[in-house]
Amino acid sequence: MYHEAALPRRRRGRRGSKMAANMSNVEDIRSRVLLGEFGVKNVHTTDFPGNYPGYDDTWDMQRFQKNFTMDIVDLDENCMEFDMVGIDAAIANAFRRILLAEVPTMAVEKVFIYNNTSIIQDEVLAHRLGLIPIKADPRLFEYRNAGEESGEDAGSEIDTIQLQLKVKCSRNPRASKDSSDPQELYLNHMVYSGDMKWMPIGNQADVFADANIGPVHDDILIAQLRPGQELDIIMHCVKGIGKDHAKFSPVATASYRLLPEITLLEPIEGEKAERLKRCFSRGVIHLEELNGKKVAMVVNSRLDTCSREVLRHDDLKNLVKLGRVRDHFIFTVESTGVLPPEVLVTEAIKVLMTKCQRFLNELDNTDME
């Protein structure tokens, strides 16, 4: 009788542990991307509530607000790294694309060439000028109407910035007769972006007195001249977005990656620990002295590049679990210098909010019809 009564209990215990393992497996599938030796697992996203057995995926605004966080990790004059946690990959990618293509800037749109006796063709020179980042706050300007005339006088102080490039090369009378260095022989033979001068239109001199409008960098090489050659150019800068032309993109790069997660399934000591440390990026694995042995510890998985080098070692690959947190995105934004990176992120959020509001308005109009 004892054995008959005990048998079902043991079965229930096995069933309970199996259910717990299944729930843990579901959690891994839902929240982790796993890096295997011959592929990447769990890359699909949630298609609908109930897609994962026993996991509640129904939309809840309060739960989203509680779980969503945005933390700045590093910030300087041109670069910003921040974490965005609690969103889907579709939203993260939409945010990245907005940074690349829908945050407006000012760039050279029209180039009026009065004299170009350099060896660079007019169209190539105009293209080079268009790609030079212009330091001017686009929020202070309006978009130029497509129907405006295309003459030199087109544009106004509210939608156009005018720049001039006027340089003529000549021989240096003080140069040594035996010298062969162009830096000593010629004057103004290197034309840089710093030679582009702002020519205020209307009341711009008063309105933007402290704006210091001009190229972001003064050391961008535009052309090389020789005695007798000159450039005489007027440029019009207008407001635009990267979706129309790459010259309007405010970022040099905007990218994201999932937060790496490295789990040691059992203690790794001695020579194995040293080899394990070499398999990862510097700073990921640290060796600690415990009882006279070196033991591997994961100290900063964020620095890992997910190279999967550890899976090449037969005696290590089953001791480590490699993954990425599905809803933890590490963003890197590098500005071209037109606007600070934190301002670009703020403007991208505003664009995303505008898109969402436009979509809701369209849904309301559809319901009314």
pTM for the model stands at 0.82
Within 10 Å of residue 24's Cβ, how many Cβ atoms? 10
Q: Give how far Cα 233 sits from Cα of 124, 166, 223, 301, Å.
A: 14, 6, 13, 53
For a pLDDT cut of 90, what percent of the chain falls above it? 65
Question: In the predicted model, what is the mean pLDDT of residues 190-194?
Answer: 96
pLDDT of residue 178: 84
State CA 268 to chain mean position distance. Answer: 37
Q: Enumerate residues 6+ apart whose C-beta is below 8 A from 188.
A: 167, 168, 169, 170, 225
For 345-367, what is each residue's pLDDT tens digit?
A: 999 999 999 999 999 999 888 76
Higher pLDDT, 41 or 261: 261
pLDDT of residue 177: 83
Question: In the predicted model, what is the mean pLDDT of residues 64-77?
Answer: 92
For 219-258, what is each residue's pLDDT tens digit?
A: 999 999 999 999 999 999 999 999 999 999 999 999 999 9
Residue type at position 253 = T
Which element (helix H / strand E) includes 251?
strand 251-264
Question: In the predicted model, what is the mean pLDDT of residues 135-144?
Answer: 93
Mean pLDDT of the chain: 87
The owner of tokens 């100290």 is: 299
Question: In the predicted model, what is the mean pLDDT of residues 29-37?
Answer: 84
Residue 2 predicted with pLDDT over 60: no
Q: Give how far Cα 9 sits from Cα of 2, 3, 12, 15, Å.
A: 11, 10, 5, 10
The domains of the chain, with CATH numbers, are 33-103+250-265+319-369 (3.30.1360.10), 105-249 (2.170.120.12)
pLDDT of residue 148: 56
